Structure 1
């Protein structure tokens, strides 16, 4: 439960710092539908996959930020992304 609250806090902070990148609004709170799957390593919902695909152009921005990288660059996040057929970049 503690991790879920911490992850939610980070997502809210990310939303406060979000900005636009090439016609895609980089709004980290858009990824909230993925929180349960990333926290548990479970199967992502269709809404989660849709949001991951929508936010994919923002991943480098999130990865470059040391506050957000630990949430994007985790085994569970990679598992959820793979299940949604979304690639998390390894270099930006």
Structure 2
């Protein structure tokens, strides 16, 4: 049995993190007129694109743009960083026309 302090994250948590990564990738392309709640789960529509070679959906790209102000925070979060900085997350951002942020 694995040590509880070294437990692997659940697939759902990983999916949420991957979605958050995509949001981070759109940080410099969208101007947000209202406050955005940073929530990695908002990027759940990007999960299949981040975890496979599937193209991102229009909803995924839209959510990435909405979460733009949160991307650097996701990149700096040790729990999200590996997903936000993954090659597939960067590919999804490029496909969505979102410039990857420099934080």
Return the TM-score normalized by structure 2.
0.68
Paired residues, what number? 78
Instruction: Determine which structure has more spread, i.e. the larger CA radius of gyration.
Output: 2
Unaligned runs of 5+ in 1: 16-21
Aligned-residue RMSD, C-alpha: 1.9
The structure whose residues are more often helix, as a share, is: 1
Return the TM-score normalized by structure 1.
0.76
User: Which structure is richer in relative contact order (CA contacts within 8 A, separation 6 or more)?
Assistant: 2
Residue 42 of structure 2 corresponds to: 30
Q: Is the 8 A contact 1:56 1:86 kept in 2?
A: no
- 1:44 match: secondary structure: coil
Runs (4+) off by over 3 Å: none
The one of 69, 76, 91 equivalent to 1:57 is: 69
